[in-house]
Structure formats: structure tokens, C-alpha cells
């Protein structure tokens, strides 16, 4: 046990490279705004000053909706930061454009990339590895699991553990019992898919497609199967779940507050990540009165879930000394995965996290890790934005306009094929 | 007279003084024009650097394939041909046209009506005018966020509708109501601004015209139709051209309130241009779309001006 916990600190215990720059350096770090995350990174910046007094870290914080644009424009004009933060699905694009610096093995006291990759859970660095080299490090590789509002379950005479849905058919069956309407006004829904952003729509849609045996995009990101029979079945199921769950048009979720409906008890069940836990615990409407269960399945014997995360990358265009310092600060930031979990709710896909005391105390951590173990990373492509928008539009055409699922997905497939040919 | 002591007029004409040879005679009009250009020079320089140069660069980029990071690659008319065939571009153009027509047409009579109202003697006129003008001074982002809340199921609009027994409308979450919801905000924001422009035009009309018309037995409507409207023609032309240009460029409200959805129902052309440039990183295509938008705005503005000035002639 001690050995496992010690592994958690492998990165922190790694000796600083002998040739760490001694001159005064300034490095910039950009990240997306999320309350607990921002507070913790600022704490780390202060702590790093004591470790490396010659390095000044300058932060810039942007909304998650804007950081991709801001980063890409900055990288193109040579004004980007030393350390960038972005959704894991964008690193394919950045690797293709040649703006990423490979991980500095000396800084992490690793002899080779395979040795370094072995420090992570199987598949943990899949989204960060290109042609055998690691180009980014995830500070979160979260599952997407089903959160249940205990009070709403109890009010409907249900037990959040015994009556928790295991399959999508269970979710549909719970709809009439949990949904509450007053006339034509929705008081609260039984279940809510996200509609505030195309990326979140794909987050829930991708595992559904995989549960039906399909795949939206090939592993190399060059072939799409948006209108496969599995995808059509997934979208038909989506419609059935939505009809049972409640009016999707009443959502209060936004890109900045993607969990708002659940936090406000406007929905009894919602799919989100462990990072939502601090926000939910702080909400008066839910507090600690929630349960987390594994993502519902089409076939529980063959579970498919999703892994989703954000990663730190280092800018290739910066001077050598700054790049060393940048990787060193990333190493420093990621040295205590249990703090990331306890303070922010982010799960690093690194070995040993699950055995830490913080993990044991983190609500339903075993469920989150179980869903990570059966998860595929969110689809990754040079054209992630176009693909997610095409799929999101296809879903909205069906849900909002009553379009035929096959026809809508055919349209999305045509749009994506055109993009992939560019 | 010897030529050595005197310079005859003939000699002067043949051989002007050294000073006159260096400095040609400059008329007053030319001097005034030069002074005007000198005053304008700093502004023209700033406009040139920050407006016209980027426009020229966008024009050049529209003929390339360019992702910001790699060097631009010339592809001729490829972007333009592709756009004409692209259903997403055609949809955005259609959404923009609908937005322009339905947000601009009501603004003209509403702003003129408000201007006529505020041109009269009213109690607390200044307070009312300030209140009506509030939408103009509110930042677009703040306005969009506030209206997003007002459009919610339990927001102000649905609450008021509920008083009349009308069921809540999913304003921003239905593809049939999202665009009208965004258009309503456009009208709400634009009307007071153009009211001020019409008001200025109304106040420039001499009161004697109305007095003379009244003496001749003309009523209020006749005065409006035969005096106010014709004399407001230049102001009306300005308002018409400006409302269309501004409506064609709408961006912040659909970006914040709907992101272009649901189902692309509010993806106006400027928003699609932004997404193509900064979410898809296809700068050449985005620039080509900008050229289409620019051409549409220019054509419309020129057509409006021609129609109005022909009418005056």
C-alpha cells in the first residue's frame, strides 16, 4: 500500500534535471475558468515560487468556450503561452500543426516514453501520445457517470441505490415516475441530455453509439461513420429517452454552467463527471444528497463509457530554457493527484490515485474509476469542432424539429466527409 | 529706358521673380481643401491601417487555403465556388436575410413614431427619452445575458404570458421561435437609437411650415405626409442604410444567446464567419464569406441611395 501511494508522488519525487536553467525566466500559462480549478492552480503558482525562485509564472484565465480560439490565434501569431490548457480532443489538431513540444523526459526522470506511459493507467495517455511520444499531460481524465438526486427519487417513492437505472430502458421506465409537470410547465425532469453545447451532446452520444457496437470516427480520425446503423439506433434511443425524461427545451444549462439543471434540482438524473461534485455539494438544492452510478448501458454485460479530459501542453516555439521550465512547472502541478481530486474533483489517469486516502473519501470514486476503466476517449481529430457541430446539429434536428434520425445523420455524415477531404 | 536700370512689365512677364518662380499661385479653395485633408489625415491614416488594410488582406486571403499556422496556399476561386454549393453557407445567408428583413422593417416606423411623439411637448419628456434610450447604452453582452434569462421557461416573458393564460414558450430552445426571439432584441435595441436620428431630423424642420399648413386647413396627418416625410427624406435614407448595414453585421446576440442553434436556426452569416475562422481555422473560407457579405451590403446600400436620390430628382 505504501509503495502504491508513493507512486502517486513519483513525479514530485523526480529529481530536477541537473541542467535546469538558473537565469531569471518568465513563463506564461493559460487555462480555462472553472472556480475550484482556478483557485488550485493559483495556489500551485504561489508554491512554485519557493521551489524555483528564478521562475515567474504569469497566468491568463479564459472561459472554456473561448480558450480554443484564443490559443490557436495566439499560437499562429507567435504570442501563445509557454503552457497551454485545452480539451484533450484538440491536441490532435495541435500535433498536426506542429506547435507542441514533446514531453521532456529529463524533467520527469524517465528513461523513455514507454517507461513514462507505464506510470499511467492503461489508455490514460492515449489522447496525449502521437507516434510513440507524449506531447501533453492530462490533469483530468474523467469518466462521465450518472448522478442521481436522492431527494427527487425519495419524493417519487424510489430508492436511489436499489432503483438506480442500469440500462437505458430503466431510464425510460423511470421517466413517468420522476418527471413532474404543472400544466404545461416542467417543474423538474426525470433525465436530461445536455443541449447547451454540441461538444456535450457528442459526449453523451459517443458512448451510446459504442454501446450499439459502432464508432463515430476511426482511430486515426480520417474516416467517419456518423450514419452507421449503430449511430441511428443510438439517436433513436436518445429520442425515446428524451421523450420519457422531460422537455429538453426547459434547460438552464450553459457552457459556463453545464450542470445547472442538476445543481438546481430541475432534473433527477444527469450525466456528468466527478469534477461536478464540489459544485453539487455546495448547492442548497442538492448538497450531499446525491448518488452516482455507472453510465446506463444498452447491454450491461458489455459496458462502454466515455473518458473526457483536459491537458497541459508546452509551446514548441518558446526558447529552450522556457520549455524546460514549463515542463518542470507542469511536473510540479501534477505531482499530487490526490490534491487535484480533493480540491477540484479532477481525476488524473495515473496509477495509484484510486488507493489514496482522498480517493477513498471522494464520493463514489469507485464508480468513477469503474467507468474510466471501460471508457474510450472523446473523439479526436484535426476537425473536432466541425465534426462535433455536425453531430450536434443532427441531434437537434431530430429532438427539436422532429427530423428522421437516419436522414439527419446522413446529412451529418455528408458534412463530415466534406470536412475530412480538406 | 535702359534694361540695365529698369525691369519692364514685358520683361517681368517673360522672366518672373525668383520667388514667384518657386511658389505657384494657390487659390483659396485649394488652400481650404488642403487644410481639410490635413485635418482628416490622422483619421484617414488610422482608418487605412486598421480598416482598409485588413480588408485588403482579407480579400487576398479569400483566394487561399489558410489555417493560421501554415503558410497560405493560393487556390483561386476555390473558396467561392465551394461556398455557393455549401448548404451550411446558404442556410446562414438565408437566416441573415430573414433577420435583416424582420428586424429592420419594424424599426423604421417604430423609431419614426417615437421621434414624432418625443418631438411634442410631453410631461417628463426628458426622463422618458432617457428610459427609452437605455437599450442603446447597455453593452451587447450584458443585454444578451439578461434577455437569455428573460426568455427562460420561468423568465419574465413567459410569466407575463402566463397572466393571459398562454403556455410557456421555449423561446431559445425551439428552432421556430429562436430567430424571432433574437429579432425582437434587435428591434428593441435599434429603435431608440434611430429615434434619436429621426428626432434630430424633425427638429430641423422649421415650425413655420406647419403653421402655414395649419392656416391653409391642413390636418395633422396631412402635415405629416406632405411636410414631415418629404423633408425627412435625407434622414430616412440615412436610417434605412444604417439599419440594414448594422442588421447584416449582427453577431454578439446570437453568439451568446443561442450559439447559432438550435438546429442552425440562428446561425447568421457573421456568426458563421467567426466560427469558420476561429473554431474551424479555415481563414480562407471565412474571408471568402466576408467578401460575399461585403458585396451584399455594398449592393444594397448603393441601390437604396440610388432609389432615394432618383426620387428626389
Q: Other C-beta atoms within 10 Å of B158: how many?
A: 19
| Residue A310 to residue A316: CA distance in whole angstroms | 19
Enumerate the domain spans of chain B: 9-61, 78-312
Enumerate the domain spans of chain A: 10-141+309-363, 145-306+379-420
pLDDT at B7: 45
| Residue A340 to residue A356: CA distance in whole angstroms | 12
- As a CATH number, domain B78-312 is 1.10.3720.10
Q: How far is A264 from chain B (nearest CA, A)?
A: 13
pLDDT at A329: 98
| Residue A313 to residue A85: CA distance in whole angstroms | 6
Dig out the grid coordinates for B200 from the structure: 434630430
Contact state of A250 with B279 under an 8 Å Cβ cutoff: no
Instruction: Work out the burial of residue A414: count CB atoms within 10 Å of its CB; fewer than 13 is exposed, 13-18 middle, 19 or more buried.
Output: middle
| Residue A137 to residue A124: CA distance in whole angstroms | 9
H or E element: which one contains A258?
Answer: none
Residue A306 backbone phi and psi in degrees, to 5: -125, 140
B278 touches chain A (CB under 8 A): yes
Indicate whether this complex's ipTM tops 0.85: no
**Which stretches of chain A sit within 8 Å of chain B by CB?**
68-69, 72-73, 75-77, 93, 97-99, 183-186, 195, 197-198, 247-252, 383, 385-386, 389, 392-393, 396-397, 400-401, 415, 422
Of B152, B167, B279, the CB nearest to A385: B279
Chain A residues touching residue B173 (CB < 8 angstroms):
195, 248-251, 400
- Residue B253 vs residues A253, B108, B162, B258: alpha-carbon distances, Å: 18, 21, 26, 8
Q: Any residues with CB less than 8 A from the CB of A247 and at least 6 apart, and which?
A: A186, A189, B170
Contact state of A73 with B88 under an 8 Å Cβ cutoff: no
pTM exceeds 0.90 for this model:
no
Dig out the grid coordinates for B312 from the structure: 428626389
Of B67, B173, B279, the CB nearest to A249: B173
pLDDT at B5: 42
Q: A10-141+309-363 and A145-306+379-420 share one CATH topology?
A: yes
Helix (H, G, I), strand (E, B) or coil at A230: helix
Contact state of B153 with A250 under an 8 Å Cβ cutoff: yes
Confidence of residue B18 (pLDDT cuts 50, 70, 90): low
B155 touches chain A (CB under 8 A): no
pLDDT tens per residue across span B67-118? 887 889 999 999 999 999 999 999 999 999 999 999 999 999 999 999 998 8
Nearest to A20 by CA among A329, A313, A307: A329
| Residue B170 to residue B150: CA distance in whole angstroms | 11
> Number of C-alpha atoms within 13 angstroms, CB side, residue B301?
16
Higher pLDDT, A330 or B213: A330
pLDDT at B4: 43
pLDDT at B311: 60
Of A72, A77, A184, the CB nearest to B281: A72
Nearest to B197 by CA among B248, B237, B154, B140: B237
Dig out the grid coordinates for B119 from the structure: 418631438
Helix (H, G, I), strand (E, B) or coil at A100: strand
Q: Other C-beta atoms within 10 Å of A333: how many?
A: 23
| Residue A37 to residue A339: CA distance in whole angstroms | 11
Residues 55-114 of chain B with CB under 8 A from chain A are 65, 67-70, 88
H or E element: which one contains A60?
Answer: strand A55-62
Q: What is the DSSP letter of A302?
A: S
Q: What are the counts of helices (DSSP H) followed by strands (DSSP E) for chain A?
A: 18, 13
Please list the rounded mean pLDDT of every run of 10 residues in chain A (422 residues).
47 56 95 91 96 96 85 84 94 89 96 96 91 96 95 96 97 96 87 92 97 92 93 98 92 85 96 92 95 97 94 96 97 94 89 87 92 90 91 95 96 94 82
What's the mean pLDDT in B227-245? 92
pLDDT at A10: 46
pLDDT at B313: 56
Of A98, A183, A386, the CB nearest to B280: A386
pLDDT at A123: 87
What's the mean pLDDT in B222-236? 89
Contact state of A186 with B153 under an 8 Å Cβ cutoff: yes
Higher pLDDT, B313 or A76: A76
Chain A residues touching residue B175 (CB < 8 angstroms):
396, 400-401
Probe site for chain B from A68, A70, A72 (most B CB atoms < 10 A): A72
For residue A224, how far is the Cα from the chain centroid? 22
pLDDT exceeds 90 at position B131: no
pLDDT at B124: 76
pLDDT at A4: 47
> Number of C-alpha atoms within 13 angstroms, CB side, residue B47?
5
| Residue A255 to residue B256: CA distance in whole angstroms | 10
Of A75, A184, A393, the CB nearest to B69: A75
pLDDT tens per residue across span B164-189? 988 888 899 889 999 999 999 999 99
Dig out the grid coordinates for A354 from the structure: 484510486
| Residue A294 to residue A292: CA distance in whole angstroms | 7
Tell me what the pLDDT averaged over chain B comes to.
87
Contact state of A249 with B278 under an 8 Å Cβ cutoff: no
Paired residues of A267 in beta bridges: A189
- As a CATH number, domain A145-306+379-420 is 3.40.190.10
**So what CATH class is A10-141+309-363?**
alpha beta
Dig out the grid coordinates for A142 from the structure: 474523467
Rg of chain A over all Cα atoms, to the nearest angstrom: 22
B153 touches chain A (CB under 8 A): yes
B163 touches chain A (CB under 8 A): no
- Quote helix, strand, coil % in chain B, to nearest 5: 70, 0, 25
| Residue A406 to residue B48: CA distance in whole angstroms | 51
What's the mean pLDDT in B146-161? 90
Confidence of residue B6 (pLDDT cuts 50, 70, 90): very low
Amino acid at each position: 500500500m505504501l509503495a502504491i501511494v508513493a507512486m502517486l508522488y513519483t513525479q514530485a519525487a523526480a529529481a530536477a534535471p541537473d541542467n535546469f536553467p538558473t537565469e531569471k525566466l518568465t513563463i506564461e500559462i493559460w487555462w480555462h475558468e472553472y472556480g475550484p480549478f482556478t483557485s488550485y492552480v493559483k495556489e500551485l503558482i504561489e508554491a512554485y515560487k519557493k521551489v524555483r525562485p528564478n521562475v515567474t509564472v504569469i497566468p491568463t484565465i479564459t472561459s472554456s468556450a473561448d480558450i480554443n480560439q484564443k490559443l490557436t490565434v495566439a499560437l499562429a501569431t507567435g504570442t501563445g503561452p509557454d503552457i497551454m490548457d485545452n480539451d484533450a480532443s484538440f491536441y490532435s489538431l495541435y500535433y498536426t500543426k506542429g506547435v507542441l513540444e514533446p514531453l521532456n523526459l529529463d524533467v520527469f526522470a524517465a528513461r523513455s516514453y514507454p517507461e513514462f506511459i507505464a506510470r499511467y493507467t492503461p489508455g490514460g495517455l492515449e489522447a496525449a501520445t502521437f507516434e510513440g511520444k507524449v506531447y501533453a499531460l492530462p490533469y483530468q481524465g474523467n469518466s462521465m457517470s450518472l448522478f442521481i438526486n436522492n431527494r427527487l427519487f425519495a419524493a417519487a417513492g424510489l430508492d436511489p441505490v436499489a432503483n438506480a437505472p442500469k440500462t437505458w430502458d430503466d431510464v425510460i421506465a423511470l421517466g413517468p415516475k420522476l418527471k413532474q409537470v404543472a400544466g404545461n410547465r416542467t417543474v423538474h425532469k426525470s433525465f436530461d441530455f445536455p443541449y447547451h453545447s454540441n461538444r456535450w451532446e457528442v459526449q453523451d452520444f459517443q458512448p451510446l453509439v459504442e454501446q450499439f457496437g459502432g464508432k463515430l470516427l476511426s482511430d486515426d480520425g480520417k474516416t467517419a461513420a456518423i450514419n452507421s446503423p449503430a449511430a441511428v439506433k443510438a439517436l433513436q434511443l436518445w429520442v425515446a429517452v428524451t421523450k420519457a425524461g422531460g422537455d429538453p427545451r426547459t434547460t438552464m444549462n450553459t457552457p459556463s454552467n453545464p450542470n445547472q439543471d442538476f445543481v438546481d434540482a430541475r432534473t433527477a438524473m444527469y450525466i456528468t463527471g466527478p469534477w461536478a461534485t464540489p459544485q453539487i455539494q455546495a448547492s442548497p438544492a442538492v448538497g450531499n444528497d446525491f448518488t452516482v452510478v455507472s453510465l446506463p448501458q444498452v447491454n450491461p454485460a458489455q459496458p462502454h463509457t466515455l473518458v473526457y479530459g483536459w491537458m497541459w501542453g508546452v509551446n514548441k516555439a518558446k526558447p529552450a530554457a522556457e520549455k524546460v521550465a514549463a515542463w518542470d512547472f507542469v511536473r510540479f502541478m501534477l505531482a499530487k493527484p490526490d490534491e487535484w481530486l480533493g480540491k477540484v474533483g479532477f481525476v488524473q489517469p495515473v496509477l495509484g490515485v484510486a488507493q489514496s486516502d482522498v480517493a477513498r473519501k471522494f464520493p463514489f470514486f469507485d464508480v468513477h474509476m469503474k467507468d474510466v476503466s471501460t471508457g474510450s476517449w472523446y473523439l479526436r481529430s484535426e476537425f473536432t469542432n466541425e465534426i462535433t457541430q455536425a453531430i450536434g446539429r443532427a441531434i437537434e434536428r431530430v429532438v427539436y424539429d422532429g427530423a428522421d434520425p437516419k436522414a439527419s445523420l446522413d446529412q451529418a455524415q455528408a458534412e463530415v466527409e466534406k470536412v475530412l477531404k480538406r | 529706358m535702359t534694361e540695365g536700370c529698369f525691369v519692364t512689365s514685358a520683361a517681368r512677364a517673360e522672366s518672373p521673380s525668383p520667388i514667384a518662380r518657386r511658389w505657384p499661385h494657390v487659390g483659396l479653395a485649394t488652400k481650404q481643401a488642403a487644410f481639410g485633408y490635413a485635418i482628416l489625415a490622422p483619421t484617414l491614416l488610422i482608418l487605412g491601417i486598421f480598416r482598409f488594410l485588413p480588408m485588403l488582406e482579407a480579400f487576398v486571403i479569400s483566394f487561399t487555403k489558410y489555417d493560421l499556422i501554415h503558410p497560405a496556399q493560393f487556390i483561386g476561386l476555390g473558396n467561392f465556388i465551394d461556398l455557393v454549393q455549401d448548404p451550411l453557407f446558404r442556410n446562414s445567408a438565408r437566416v441573415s436575410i430573414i433577420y435583416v428583413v424582420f428586424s429592420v422593417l419594424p424599426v423604421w416606423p417604430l423609431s419614426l413614431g417615437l421621434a414624432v411623439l418625443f418631438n411634442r411637448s410631453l410631461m417628463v419628456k426628458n426622463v422618458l427619452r432617457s428610459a427609452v434610450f437605455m437599450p442603446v447604452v447597455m453593452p451587447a453582452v450584458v443585454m444578451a445575458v439578461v434577455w437569455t434569462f428573460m426568455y427562460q421557461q420561468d423568465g419574465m416573458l413567459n410569466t407575463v404570458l402566463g397572466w393571459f393564460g398562454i403556455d410557456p414558450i421555449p423561446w431559445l430552445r425551439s428552432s421556430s421561435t429562436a430567430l424571432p426571439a433574437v429579432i425582437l432584441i434587435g428591434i428593441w435595441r435599434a429603435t431608440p437609437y434611430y429615434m434619436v436620428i429621426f428626432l434630430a431630423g424633425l427638429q430641423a424642420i422649421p415650425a413655420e411650415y406647419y403653421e402655414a399648413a395649419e392656416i391653409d386647413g391642413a390636418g395633422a396627418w396631412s402635415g405629416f405626409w406632405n411636410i414631415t416625410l418629404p423633408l425627412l427624406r435625407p434622414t430616412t435614407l440615412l436610417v434605412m442604410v444604417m439599419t440594414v448595414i448594422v442588421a447584416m453585421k449582427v453577431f454578439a446576440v446570437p453568439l451568446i444567446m443561442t450559439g447559432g442553434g438550435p438546429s442552425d436556426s440562428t446561425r447568421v452569416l457573421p456568426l458563421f464567419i467567426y466560427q469558420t475562422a476561429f473554431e474551424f481555422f479555415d481563414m480562407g473560407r471565412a474571408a471568402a464569406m466576408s467578401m460575399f457579405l461585403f458585396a451584399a451590403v455594398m449592393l444594397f446600400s448603393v441601390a437604396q441611395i440610388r432609389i432615394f436620390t432618383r426620387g428626389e430628382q
